[in-house]
Amino acid sequence: MNHKIINGNLLIFDGEKFKTEKKDLYIKDGIIAAIGEYAGEDTKWEVTDAKDRLIMPGLINAHTHVYMTLLRNYADDVDFSEWLFNRVSPVEDRLPVEAAYWANLLGFAEMFRTGTTSYVDMHMYKCMSAKAARDAGIRAFIGRGLVGNDLFEDGLRRYEEAMAERKEYESSRIKIILSPHAPYSCSEKLYRQVAEEAEKHGLLKQTHLSEGITEVENVLKETGKTPVKWLYDIGWLNEKTILAHCVQMRDDDIGLLADSGASVVTNPASNAKLGNGFAPAVEMQKKGVNLCIGTDGTSSNNTLNMFREMGILSLIHKGIQKDSTAMPAQSVIAAATVNGAKALGMKDELGEIKEGAQADLIFIDLKSPSLFPNNNIISSLCYSANGSEVESVMVEGKFVMKNREFLTIDYERVCWEVEKITEKYL
Amino acid sequence: MNHKIINGNLLIFDGEKFKTEKKDLYIKDGIIAAIGEYAGEDTKWEVTDAKDRLIMPGLINAHTHVYMTLLRNYADDVDFSEWLFNRVSPVEDRLPVEAAYWANLLGFAEMFRTGTTSYVDMHMYKCMSAKAARDAGIRAFIGRGLVGNDLFEDGLRRYEEAMAERKEYESSRIKIILSPHAPYSCSEKLYRQVAEEAEKHGLLKQTHLSEGITEVENVLKETGKTPVKWLYDIGWLNEKTILAHCVQMRDDDIGLLADSGASVVTNPASNAKLGNGFAPAVEMQKKGVNLCIGTDGTSSNNTLNMFREMGILSLIHKGIQKDSTAMPAQSVIAAATVNGAKALGMKDELGEIKEGAQADLIFIDLKSPSLFPNNNIISSLCYSANGSEVESVMVEGKFVMKNREFLTIDYERVCWEVEKITEKYL
């Protein structure tokens, strides 16, 4: 179906800043065909009136674990090792693979409601993430978490799962990436192997890096290098690398990150909630690192709401810097849209409303009590929105939520299935 | 109308912790008449089915300026003096008094949508706050901002306005309090006069205190004391005193606050956003200060959403302390309910679901995508909720919002009036 969206306010990025323009929007075959006037071949348009609505690029959640939605608030206000080893991991081990399918759909429901159209995932259960993403119509960048000493020996099963997921589910919307878990669960050899495989197959790679102090101290002790320097020296960091967290930056870590062209995903709520502290996001931006935003999983955040994450990111850094002009709304919105697209190697196709880009769009009700009056829409998106202002969501030119009704997810059924699973396994 | 609420989960405070209980709730003449079984005189009940709903005490926003909703996002990402002197103040000066009426109603709409039933206000426009609160049915503690050297000379007009508001609007729901603005706009004499008047009339008093570094340094230079010590020494701090901000704590400030019995309202989003930093809320709680939560006004936050504020409070302090167990959900919810009630001198009547208390209640949809599965409802309220899960709101036994429809506010009209005002004066 081709769409003509009339009377809306479009959030346009001019290469440096976002601004709003009141123009019509034409969407053909999933692509933004024209802004303002359409001069192409005539076609049948489905017309949507977007009066009092802001239409903006769907948000890109650049680091999360959607299957964990099942464990939302399962282990809070406890210390990190209790959280991971005694609470979360034992449950993950006993959950059946199918549980992850329903958990993913539940997560997508929250993501649509709060304006996310793309996400970068690290998961644990064979094919379930991709299957759920396919069914829900979300744009997904999915990595099976890899661990071990050798990708083709003790790590082989997981790598095969990743490749099976790729074979069965990869599409224009679903891309498989390679995701070694972290320096404390993967050897240097495995990281090197992953880099080679990624290069060979043209895949993005993602890993957790420098999240907690213990990790950094252990890598320093073993290698004499920070985790960033260690990966930099083996050539792992480049423009096809996405690094989650990067909280504990030492020495010239930030300079190395900037130099490498790798993207960093800051997860301010998760890092604060687990007691890991605050990532030096302002310093990273100053040195030219491509900064993106992620929510992490719901058992360490505990929500997949990117609007909440944007607000928290800005507030935390204004507070730390004691500077009301630090981490302004403009740069936060860029981090959640254009920077995410750049990290995914899709800067011409995602994160912006422009001709030729994918029609991944969210429609925001400007008359919401949390946004009105609209004195400054850019500010409102960062400082006032709670995510509930998102009324409709489109991915690749297809509505997946319209007037807050899910069109691709049977939400009642999802709740019923999730309840059965939590009763049995949690 | 008397209400019987069935099938709901009640959030009950046992004196130390919150827990949920599945019990019926009986509300008679605006008061919680019974929990579980009703043994009183028979009456006609309006029955509400609260299946899959959590019923909790309405949140208490202990410091805000609701009239500022008109200026939401009017001046962001600029420094504090530009914000106050060149942007906000000139507009406040030229706005007509009536503007504040519509601004307040707009603010109440956002507050109801996000679960606030009581608030403590400092305002600028004669009687408009109380009039709007009366019409909307919210519970209000309203103080005309007082400034000057002498309450009965240069401060007289404002004090008379406060007293006029009291005479015309005070009721079981609306209480007038005395609100000298801040140490940098009020003399010691005025603070002393306010304390005497408050004592004479049995009123609560509220002021901004130690919000920014400049204020603290100036008071130190002029008096040799911190703002806290200065007010402590003139006997201004006691159990009927509510202090907003208290970010810049020096010397033994926190000890004096604890010793005095005054309540402190922390405004984490505002303090961060304006670059004032983070209040030492964890240390205050440890020393026994009664800690409450406020959003401040929407031009320094920029929302009146107490759920967002609760989440930010917890995350910021876990991050600062590098301790995932710091500022746990239980203490955050207490700060937004029972501690607020204590600050208001109404601990037997507000902030808790218990027999004899006011029926100020909010109904939360537990099947919201942001809360499901309900592995830990207490955690969800602090870490997962964005405020949009609030479905219905009751104040003094009367629904003011039901199924997200406002029953006391003509929201379309409010938007129309606000738009007219912003077009003309902003």
- Pick from B318, B322, B383: which is nearest to A303 by CB? B383
What is the residue-averaged pLDDT of chain A? 96
By Cβ distance, the residue of B375, B380, B415 closest to A422 is: B375
CB contact under 8 A, B275 and A326: yes
Q: Do B318 and A269 touch (CB under 8 A)?
A: no
Which of B282, B322, B401 is most worth mutating to test chain A (most A CB atoms within 10 A of its CB)? B322
Q: For residue B195, give the nearest of B182, B216, B180, B175 by alpha carbon.
A: B180
Residue B84 confidence class, pLDDT cut points 50, 70, 90: confident
Chain A positions in Cβ-Cβ contact with residue B306 (cut-off 8 Å)? none
Confidence of residue B123 (pLDDT cuts 50, 70, 90): very high
Distance of residue B377 Cα from the nearest chain A Cα, in angstroms:
8
Residues of A in contact with B110 (CB under 8 A): 369-370
Residue A152 has pLDDT above 90, yes or no: yes
- Residue A98 has phi, psi (to 5 degrees) of -60, -25
Residue of chain A with shortest Cα separation from B106: A369
How far, in Å, CA of B296 to CA of B302, rounded? 9
Rounded CA-CA distance A74/A298 in Å is 9
Residue in A109, A308, A324 closest to B77 by CB = A324
CB atoms B384 and A302 under 8 Å: yes
A239: distance to nearest CA of chain B, Å? 30
B contacts of A379 (beta carbons < 8 Å)? 73, 76-77, 302
How far apart are the CA of A373 and the nearest CA of chain B, in angstroms?
6
Which chain A residues touch B301 with a CB distance below 8 Å?
Answer: 383
- Smallest CA–CA distance, residue B328 to chain A, in Å, is 6
Structure-token match 């464990």, residue found: A71
Nearest-CB residue to B312 (from A76, A305, A312): A312
SS3 category, A35: strand
Rounded CA separation A79/B18 (Å): 21
3-state secondary structure of A400: strand
**What is the percent of chain B with per-residue pLDDT over 90, rounded to a whole number?**
94
Q: Is the CB of A372 less than 8 angstroms away from the CB of B268?
A: no
Task: Judge: B324–A419 Cβ closer than 8 Å, yes or no.
Answer: no
Chain A residues whose CB is inside 8 A of the B367 CB are 415
Beta strands in A85-223 (DSSP E): 116-123, 139-146, 174-176, 179-180, 205-209
B122 and B65 Cβ atoms separated by less than 8 Å: yes
**Token pair 């936050």 in the structure block, residue:** B301
Residue with tokens 């202090």: B243
Top residue of B112, B325, B372, B390 to mutate, by most chain A CBs within 10 Å, is B372
Q: What is the pTM of this model?
A: 0.98
Q: Are A295 and A64 in contact (CB under 8 A)?
A: yes
pLDDT on residue A83: 82
Helix (H) or strand (E) segment spanning residue B419: helix B411-425
Tell me the pLDDT band of B89, cut-offs 50, 70 and 90: confident
Q: What letter represents residue B362's amino acid?
A: I
Q: Which of A279, A331, A317, A306 shows the shortest CA–CA distance to A386?
A: A306
3-state secondary structure of A425: helix
Span A45-101, pLDDT tens digits: 999 999 999 999 999 999 999 999 999 998 887 877 788 788 888 998 899 999 999
What is the pLDDT averaged over residues B389-399?
98
Residues contacting A112, CB < 8 A, separation 6+? A136, A138, A390, A393, A400, A401, A406, A409
Indicate yes or no: CB of B302 within 8 angstroms of CB of A380.
yes
The minimum CA-CA distance between B325 and chain A, rounded to whole Å, is: 4
* DSSP code string of B208-239: EES-SHHHHHHHHHHHSS-HHHHHHHTT--ST
**pLDDT tens digits, B3-47:** 999 999 999 999 999 999 999 999 999 999 999 999 998 899 999
pLDDT in the model for residue B82: 84
- Bridge-based pairing of strands A53-57 and A59-64 is unpaired
Distance, in Å, from the CA atom of A30 to the CA atom of A34, rounded to the nearest integer, reads 12
Helix, strand, coil fractions of chain B, as percent rounded to 5: 40, 25, 35
C-alpha A335, offset from chain centre: 11
Which of A271, A367, A422 shows the shortest C-beta gap to B373?
A422
Q: Which of A110, A366, A372 to mutate to test the interface with B (most CBs of B within 10 A)?
A: A372
Check residue A415 and give its pLDDT. Answer: 98
Note whether A372 contacts B307, CB cutoff 8 Å: no
With an 8 Å Cβ cutoff, are A273 and B380 in contact? no
d(CA A391, CA A27): 18
Provide, as residue numbers in chain A, all residues whose Cβ is less than 8 Å from the Cβ of B307: 386
Q: Indicate yes or no: CB of B318 within 8 angstroms of CB of A379.
A: no
pLDDT of residue B111: 98
Residue of B nearest to A385 (CA): B303
Partner residue opposite A328 with nearest CB, options B77, B315, B370: B77
For residue A318, give the nearest of B74, B275, B324 by CB distance.
Answer: B275
Judged against a pLDDT cut of 90, whether residue A115 lies above it is answered with yes
CB atoms within 10 A of CB B119: 28
Residue given tokens 């049915």 in the structure block: B137
Q: How many beta-carbon pairs below 8 A join chains A and B?
A: 218
pLDDT, position B42: 85
Q: What is the DSSP letter of A62?
A: E
Lookup: tokens for B39? 């043994």
CA-CA-CA-CA torsion sign (A158, A159, A161, A166): positive
3-state secondary structure of A241: strand
Tell me the chain A residues in contact with residue B415 when contact means C-beta distances shorter than 8 Å: 367, 372-373
Chain A hits for B271, Cβ within 8 Å: 319
Angle between helix axes B97-113 and B411-425 (nearest 10 degrees) is 130
- Please name the member of B80, B324, B376 whose beta carbon is closest to the beta carbon of A83: B324
Two tokens, residue B207: 């002021």
pLDDT at A121: 98
Q: Give A272's contacts in chain B (Cβ within 8 Å).
A: 315-316, 318-319
* Chain segment A309-320, per-residue pLDDT in tens: 999 999 999 999
B208 φ/ψ angles, rounded to the nearest 5 degrees: -75, 140
pLDDT at residue B257 above 80? yes
**B-chain residues within 8 Å CB-CB of A109?**
369
Closest residue of chain A to B114, computed from CA coordinates: A370
From CA B111, how far away is CA A263, in angstroms rounded?
Answer: 38
Tell me: the pLDDT tens digits for B210-242?
999 999 999 999 999 999 999 999 999 999 999
Q: What are the pLDDT digits (tens) for B292-301?
A: 999 999 989 9
Choose from A274, A375, A403 for mutation: most chain B CBs within 10 A. Answer: A375
Of B76, B307, B373, the CB nearest to A383: B76
